[in-house]
Amino acid sequence: MWFEDYQDVRQQPTVQMIPPQVISRYVNQWITTSIPGYGEVVAYVLEYNPRTGMVSLFMYREGRVTPQYIQVHYSDLIGIAPYYGPIPPRPRPRPRPRPPRPRPPWGTTPGPGAPGQPGTGLFPWLWGQFF
């Protein structure tokens, strides 16, 4: 069948391995990175041990206000960039749900005539057009 020979020509995402030298440049700085199991995080790099490859971080997860101390291997960090936002990171405010608007009574719906007057509105106007 034709779909057995089909090749996906879309560009696949690539994971960029961060060299250890790059991690050591970010010690004592705020970064954004992605960590498997945690997702996108903002973190403060406390230290990097080049002998073991372990990175000590104070990590702020999305929507959290308190930091979490973790140690991960440098190969677990997917992408790294300096963080220039507020320190400590603040969670984004959630949009407030809007209450439903009350529906006007049938006799006062918008339509030809004086709005809000009893007996005016769409249905009385339609009734007057045909009868």
Helix (H) or strand (E) holding 23: helix 20-25
- Whether the CB-CB separation of 33 and 79 falls below 8 Å is answered with yes
Mean pLDDT across the chain: 77
Phi, psi of 82 (to 5 degrees): -65, 150
DSSP, res 70? E
Question: Global pTM?
Answer: 0.58
Q: Give residue-wise pLDDT tens across range 18-55.
A: 788 888 999 999 999 999 998 899 999 999 999 999 99
**Residue 43 DSSP code:** E
Residue 16: is its pLDDT beyond 90?
no
